[in-house]
Amino acid sequence: MEPAKTLIDSGSSRNFIDKDYVREKNIPTTKLANKKSVIAIDGKEIENVISEKTELQIEVEGKTLRCDLYVMPLGDTEIILGKDWLDEAEPIIAWKDLTITYKDHTSGKAATDEPVIPKEFADFLDLFQEEGFRELPPHREEFDCAIDLIEGAELPKPAKTYPMTPAESEALEKYMSKN
């Protein structure tokens, strides 16, 4: 998808996406149980203007975050990234030259582009490609083995996965819903 005309607005408490842009790009949305009102920049309340939201991966200057965006008419702007995004992204904005960078939380230095695949695995780059990822490997008879099921046996009770951090749980949930 091509870049969206985006406004970063520290005065906006939430992230928003233009209703027409959502329809034009066929972005899936979720209906809200209750419509939401918005306080506009002039201080006036716009009642029940938001009835749906969407969740998108938003990439700004090399940093990608999952964002909830409320759908409403925005005029000439396609996306408004508000305090929700600012709190999570923690960008460093150079207003003079209009650039955005991010700090590396571990060292306090500007982030560097590190390869996604560690150099120790460079010999196996073909294993990390999308090509062939959704296919089964070729059939190899020498590795066939039988799994004999016992007729009428009781199935094991479903078990939870091992304990995960919230980030790991979120990544698993995303993967499961995508695949």
| Residues whose CB falls within 8 Å of the CB of residue 162, separated by 6 or more in sequence, listed in order | none
CA 166: distance to chain centroid?
14
Rounded distance, CA 153 to CA 163, Å?
A: 29
> What is the pLDDT, as a whole number, of residue 141?
84
> What is the pLDDT, as a whole number, of residue 121?
79
* Domains delineated in the chain: 6-91 (2.40.70.10)
Residue 53 pLDDT exceeds 90 = yes
Provide mean pLDDT across the span 9-36: 93
Closest of 59, 63, 167, 64 to residue 110, by C-alpha: 63
SS3 assignment, position 123: helix
Bigger pLDDT: 28 vs 136:
28
pLDDT confidence bin for 157, thresholds 50/70/90: confident
Stated as kind and residue range, the H or E segment containing 101 is strand 99-102
pLDDT tens, residue by residue, 57-115: 999 888 889 999 999 999 899 999 999 999 999 998 888 888 888 876 433 344 445 55
DSSP annotation string for 42-66: TS-EEEEEEEEEEEEEEEETTEEEE
